[in-house]
Amino acid sequence: MRDLFVALRKDLLLQWRGRAQVVAIFAFGAAALLLFSFAIGPDSLALRQHAAGFLWLGLLLASTLSLAESFEREMEEQALEGLLLLPASARALYYGKAIANWGQLALLGSALVPIMVVLYDAGTLRLLSLLGVIVLGTAGLSAPGTLYAAMTSQIRGRQTLLPLLLFPLVVPVLLAAVKATSLLILGDPMGQVRPWATLLAAFAVVHWSMGGLLFDRVVED
């Protein structure tokens, strides 16, 4: 447990020192949201209807940058090999990084919400529920994302491979998060947000446990 906190502290510190990069990734996400509206045209009704989908697509695209970035730093000067030589379990390193990535993605998602509200006129008063959906959804993105980024950061063609591996896997996250967010924005007369949030939570539980089980295989030797 202590290993985990030390690893988490290291990753949060890394993120804090590389905050310029985080701002750049946020700008990328915001630009994506701006571009999506050009794909639909200036139809405010349609934009509002698709706002949730655009938000999550923007976040998903931005997440591949931030996940890849989190391991690229470990590749410099063989930092990862150094870490693995420490008397700490690979599992602690994984969870430290996955939690740090989760925090960063949740922050990124929350920061994109105002952009969505302004551009698509898609506001909601259930801000806490929206935050909950973002936290659960990004949990589902960060666990498999961290696992795959650990592999793809070490090989050629990594820019293509991480999204190629991650996107099909997180289809349930995208689907459930978009549905839940959409219901929050457009109204939820049947109270359907909760089952979608449960699906997000279930996905996260499955992938967080699987990632912890398999990570030491990925980085061994």
Partner 1 sequence: MPQALVAAGVVLLLTGSFWGLFRAPGEVFMGDVQRIMYVHVPTAWNAMLALTFAFVCAVTFLLTKAWKWDNRLEAAMEMGVVLSLLLCMQGAIWAKPTWGVWWDWDPRLTTTAVMVFAFGGILALRNAVDDPVKRAVWSSVACIVAFADVPIVYFSVKWWNSLHQAQSTPATVSKAFHWPLRINAFGVLFLWAGLVALRARVAALRLGSELAPPLPQPAGTEKAPVHGGTL
Min dist. Cβ of residue 219 to partner 1 (A) = 10
Name which of 30 and 149 has its Cβ closer to partner 1: 149
Shorter beta-carbon distance to partner 1: residue 59 or 178: 178
Write the DSSP string, 5-56: HHHHHHHHHHHHHTHHHHHHHHHHHHHHHHHHHHHH-S-HHHHHHHHHHHHH
Sequence-distant (6+) residues with CB within 8 A of 95 are 4, 7, 8, 212
Nearer to partner 1, 2 or 156 (CB): 156
Report helix angle 90-120 to 44-75, nearest 10: 150
* Spatial CA neighbour of 164 closest among 178, 156, 152: 152
126 or 158: whose CB is closer to partner 1? 158
C-alpha distance from residue 77 to each of 31, 118, 130 (Å): 33, 43, 40
Q: How far is the CB of 140 from partner 1 (least distance, A)?
A: 10
Place of tokens 């929350």: 110
Residues that bind partner 1 (CB under 8 A): 144, 147-148, 151-152, 154-157, 160-161, 164-165, 167-169, 171-172, 175-176, 179, 195, 199, 202-203, 206-207, 210, 214, 217-218, 220-221
Residue found by looking up tokens 């089952």 in the block: 195
**Cα 97 to Cα 49: distance, rounded to the nearest angstrom:** 35
Q: Shortest gap between Cβ of 92 and partner 1 (angstroms)?
A: 18
**Residue 11 is encoded by which pair of tokens?**
């990753």
Q: Supply the minimum distance, in Å, between the C-beta of residue 127 and partner 1.
A: 25
Nearer to partner 1, 83 or 199 (CB): 199
* Shortest CB 189 distance to partner 1, Å: 17
Closest distance between partner 1 and the C-beta of residue 70, in Å? Answer: 18
29 versus 140: smaller Cβ distance to partner 1: 140
